[in-house]
């Protein structure tokens, strides 16, 4: 059932066994999973079915460090979106950011969870094996192609071994035709389900604790129209993305100074993204003759590949993870004539003759605590303190990108993939934008002195408050975070089924 907060009376209390805040991929997955397994779930969402600019404005932040991308209605890069959403990195609407994302899926590899001695704060307290089954089951349920089978294809094996000989690695990803939009994928289920209730237009503004200070008893939810309701639950799951989850924990500071889960001052810290450069080209080399179809961007759905320096090189030079995507740009008539006059070979894939590849280069950022979010003094339309975002890069980030580009340029040329053409605009960290991959602000750890949530995603110091988001990533080495968010959501759903019992429902919307 889907209800708008305006349909409820003033000062109403609504209750679910499980309350999930946020209806993006993380929140929709854990809410539908638990509801299908018999739990009474209340999904609370700040946005509504339609995009409303005044609700979206509740996401506004103040940048006090490196800035994010900006709204750019003319952006070439986000042509697939309506102009008002080109450059937006988080969406407040039913379905959250899944309404605009691109739909590239790739799981983390075992090494991504392991601590790398040359990257401070890089390890996860869980292992790849802890998520493996959840990657597999969600891949099946969401129609994500089988990347293990893909790895066995002779062409991919050939490409991998050629690249490996040159000190490069190949990363495969699955690209959906229509990216999962949770409001569409789960819309019917949300409307019809008896034990999944969705409350729209309800912005969570505060978490209330019982006298012990350890149990969240309710979530205060308010609307821009002035309606306020109290949402109660036995288990509360925050799935609001890395910025808003940290903001709600910090804002809930009336009963605990500094906010919930913040006893060690770590909420909002270790914020990372994937700095990104998408200007520049790669002039194709002879290897493209054999492998161009593997690099195609269309038709979708499809598997495609991207590249990086291999793990041994990263270890040897103490580098951060990074990814090189190559988008084929096809030849026009005038380019064909010019190429023919120059006597250059034609490289073709199944879509046409390739004029060049547009380069999209992204890098990991080393996690460090001074890159952070905190509450500022400015307030939003609900009177909530806005976030100040102090996004900072470290010396390691600068050193790593310089060496990575030097080695990549050499090796990509030597192996015959091609030659970079960056003109007078090579990738520079200071000019790189975010990738809309906010991570790390409630990091997962074994001990409260090191993070905000434990290995089950439960907020330290609380009995019943959980987080599911890339905010729990202690490090985000791999480019696409969403498959891992989804696997974590499924894992949390399973954990709650195993560890919590069903209590009778007292009140409902």
Ligand X SMILES: Cc1cc2nc3c(=O)[nH]c(=O)nc-3n(C[C@H](O)[C@H](O)[C@H](O)COP(=O)(O)OP(=O)(O)OC[C@H]3O[C@@H](n4cnc5c(N)ncnc54)[C@H](O)[C@@H]3O)c2cc1C
Encoded tokens for 102: 């691109």
Which of 78/368 has CB closer to ligand X?
A: 78
Residue 371 touching ligand X (CB under 6 A): no
Applying CB under 6 A, among 100, 387, 432, 457 the residue interacting with ligand X is 100
* Comparison of 457 and 485: residue with beta carbon closer to ligand X: 485
On the 0-12 / 13-18 / 19+ scale of CB atoms within 10 A, 164 is middle
Q: Which of 21, 310, 58, 303 is nearest to 167 (CA)?
A: 310
Q: Report the distance separating Cα 94 and Cα 199, nearest Å.
A: 10
Smallest gap from Cβ 97 to ligand X, in A, equals: 3
Handedness of CA 205, 242, 63, 74 (dihedral sign): negative
50: phi > 0 → left, psi -120 to 50 → alpha, else beta; which?
beta
Structure tokens at 320: 């951060």
Q: Is 92 in the site for ligand X (CB under 6 A)?
A: yes
Please identify, using beta-carbon distances, which residue of 407 and 487 lies nearer to ligand X. Answer: 487
Q: Which of 16, 47, 201, 427 binds ligand X (CB under 6 A)?
A: 47
Minimum gap (Å) between residue 89 Cβ and ligand X = 5
Least distance CB 28 / ligand X (angstroms) = 7
The residue from 33, 51, 101, 466 that contacts ligand X (CB under 6 A) is 101
Which range in 236-244, 261-269, 348-356, 498-506 contacts ligand X by CB under 6 A?
236-244
Please pick, from the candidates 181, 437, 443, 491, the single residue that binds ligand X as defined by CB under 6 A: 437
Q: Does 97 bind ligand X (CB under 6 A)?
A: yes
Which range binds ligand X by CB under 6 A, 1-9, 10-18, 94-102, 189-197? Answer: 94-102
Tell whether residue 121 is a contact of ligand X (CB under 6 A).
no
For the chain, the C-alpha Rg in angstroms (whole number) is 23
Alpha carbon of residue 381 to chain centroid: 26
CB of 23 to ligand X, least distance (A): 5
Q: Which residues between 317 and 346 bind ligand X (CB under 6 A)?
A: none
Task: Pick the closer one to ligand X by CB: 240 or 393.
Answer: 240
Helix axis angle for 288-295 and 154-165, nearest 10°, is: 120
Angle at the Cα of 238 from the Cα atoms of 235 and 243, rounded to 5 degrees: 165
Length of the chain: 509
- Specify the DSSP class assigned to residue 393: -
DSSP states along 290-309: HHHHHH---SSSEEEEEEEE
89 binds ligand X (CB under 6 A): yes
Q: Smallest gap, in angstroms, from Cβ of residue 137 to ligand X?
A: 18
Q: Which positions lie near ligand X, rule CB under 6 A?
A: 21-27, 44-47, 89-90, 92, 96-98, 100-104, 203-204, 239-241, 244, 248, 436-437, 469-470, 480-482, 485
């Amino acid at each position: 059932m889907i209800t708008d907060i305006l349909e409820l009376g003033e000062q109403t209390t609504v209750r679910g066994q499980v309350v999930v805040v946020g209806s993006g991929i993380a929140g929709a997955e854990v809410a539908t999973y638990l509801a299908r397994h018999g739990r009474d779930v209340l999904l609370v969402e700040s946005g509504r079915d339609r995009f409303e600019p005044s609700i979206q404005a509740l996401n506004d932040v103040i940048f006090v460090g490196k800035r994010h991308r900006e709204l750019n209605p003319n952006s070439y890069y986000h042509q697939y979106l309506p102009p008002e959403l080109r450059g937006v990195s988080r969406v407040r609407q039913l379905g959250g950011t899944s309404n605009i994302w691109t739909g590239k899926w790739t799981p983390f590899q075992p090494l991504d969870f392991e601590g790398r001695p040359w990257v401070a704060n890089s390890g996860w307290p869980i292992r790849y094996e802890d998520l493996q089954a959840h990657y597999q089951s969600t891949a099946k349920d969401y129609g994500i192609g089988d990347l293990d089978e893909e790895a066995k294809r002779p062409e991919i094996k050939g490409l991998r071994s050629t690249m490996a000989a040159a000190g490069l690695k190949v990363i495969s990803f699955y690209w959906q035709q229509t990216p999962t939009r949770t409001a569409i994928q789960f819309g019917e289920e949300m409307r019809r389900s008896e034990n999944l209730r969705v409350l729209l237009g309800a912005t969570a503004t505060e978490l209330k604790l019982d006298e012990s200070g350890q149990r969240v008893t309710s979530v205060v939810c308010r609307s821009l129209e002035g309606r306020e309701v109290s949402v109660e639950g036995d288990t509360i799951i925050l799935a609001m993305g890395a910025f808003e989850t940290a903001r709600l924990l910090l804002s809930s500071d009336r009963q605990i100074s500094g906010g919930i889960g913040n006893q060690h001052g770590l909420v909002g810290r270790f914020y990372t993204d994937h700095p990104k450069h998408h200007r520049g080209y790669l002039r194709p080399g002879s290897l493209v003759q054999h492998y161009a179809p593997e690099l195609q961007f269309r038709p979708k759905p499809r598997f495609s590949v991207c590249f990086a320096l291999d793990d041994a090189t990263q270890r040897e030079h103490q580098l951060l993870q990074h990814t090189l995507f190559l988008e084929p740009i096809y030849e026009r008539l005038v380019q064909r004539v010019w190429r023919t006059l120059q006597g250059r070979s034609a490289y073709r894939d199944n879509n046409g003759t390739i004029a060049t590849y547009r380069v999209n280069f992204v890098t990991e950022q080393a996690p460090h605590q001074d890159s952070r979010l905190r509450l500022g003094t400015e307030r939003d339309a609900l009177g909530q303190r806005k976030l100040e975002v102090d996004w900072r890069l470290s010396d390691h980030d600068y050193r790593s990108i310089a060496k990575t580009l030097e080695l990549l340029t050499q090796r990509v040329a030597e192996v015959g993939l091609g030659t970079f053409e960056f003109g007078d605009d090579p990738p520079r960290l200071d000019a790189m934008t975010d990738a809309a991959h906010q991570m790390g602000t409630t990091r997962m750890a074994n001990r409260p002195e090191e993070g905000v949530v434990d290995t089950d995603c439960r907020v330290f110091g609380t009995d019943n408050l959980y987080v599911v988001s890339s905010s729990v990533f202690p490090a985000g080495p791999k480019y696409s975070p969403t498959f891992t968010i989804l696997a974590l959501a499924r894992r949390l759903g399973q954990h709650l089924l195993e560890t919590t019992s069903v209590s009778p429902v007292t009140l409902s919307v």
